[in-house]
Chain A
């Protein structure tokens, strides 16, 4: 299911609207990120479904930042799902990408993926492939919320205790573009100590995801210890939405995140 995407990308490349298209390609028996510059390569373009829908997604937005930093004058196309589009919008807000230089080619996610992700909006505003599926609610968050306070602490301490401090959650995160990371600041996190301080390490990261996390779930997928990081960041997004009526990627790109501006005092 990528014919319409292929046709769209072919048109973008051949008209010269974009210098290249960042998507996924089937190569060497694997699915990996690839910059298409020649429309003859498009035969191998895929959307990242191998055994299950969306099981081979990559942080294309993050790679796009790398490209845009070196070639700020060029325009690039990029494959986006609902989450990636939220990511693009948020990266525009944070001035990491120029909206004039990015052409998003959208795909709507199938039901199975939307359910697995508990995605609020499993489709971009504009998409050329797939069908619009209703969003899902955050059942994983509700499950933790329904626990007793003491069990919640026990739950998270047990999960965080599995951490091997690989920094994979940060390294894969399309929203982690900072040059200096708090998780490497010795005043906040003891660098070189394994395992990391529990729960400080993960709560520090959770705080930094406030007003930023677009719920793509790549962190959970990259975690070698299967820590349900996505649930934690989903909750953080809920808190920000509830307190400040802001959800990254749903607001317009001009609207600043609540923790970046003074704004109004929170509702208690």
Chain B
């Protein structure tokens, strides 16, 4: 259900003018510490590359 909602939300964000890559869904188990770190590091660098959200500037 979550994967369906996120898929819809990403497209709605794009239509509203917000980069859809600012929203990501990943499954990480509590036993997967290194993977969690990897996902977060990757996502953080992805967000940094996108730069500050224009939404934040606008509001």
Contacts and interface: CB of A to CB of B under 8 A. Distances in A.
* Contact, chains A and B (beta carbon distance below 8 A): yes
Interface of A: 144-145, 147, 149-157, 198-199, 203, 206-207, 210, 232, 235-236, 239-240, 242-244, 258-259, 262-263, 265-266, 268
Contacts of B11: 239, 242-243
Nearest to B14: A149
A153 B17 contact: yes
Nearest to A153: B17
B29 interface: no
A211 B9 CA distance: 13
A150 B54 contact: yes
Counting chain A CB atoms within 10 Å of each CB, the highest count among B3, B16, B54 belongs to: B16
A266 B4 contact: yes
Interface of chain B: mostly helix, strand, loop or mixed: helix
Contacts of B12: 203, 206-207, 235-236, 239
Contacts of A145: 15
Contacts of A147: 17
Contacts of B55: 153, 157, 199
Given A150-B54, A153-B54, A259-B1, A235 B7 contact: no
Interface residues of B, number: 19
Nearest to B3: A265
A152 B15 CA distance: 7
Interface of B: 1, 3-5, 7-9, 11-12, 14-19, 54-55, 58-59
In the A-B complex, the 5 residue pairs with the smallest Cβ-Cβ separation, listed nearest first, are A153-B17, A152-B17, A266-B7, A239-B11, A235-B15
A160 B8 CA distance: 20
Contacts of A240: 8
Contacts of A210: 8
B4 A153 contact: no
A207 to B, nearest CB: 7
Given A153-B54, A198-B59, A239-B11, A203 B4 contact: no
B16 to A, nearest CB: 5
Nearest to A151: B17
A239 B8 contact: yes
A210 B58 CA distance: 27
Contacts of B16: 152-153, 156, 199, 203
Nearest to B9: A207
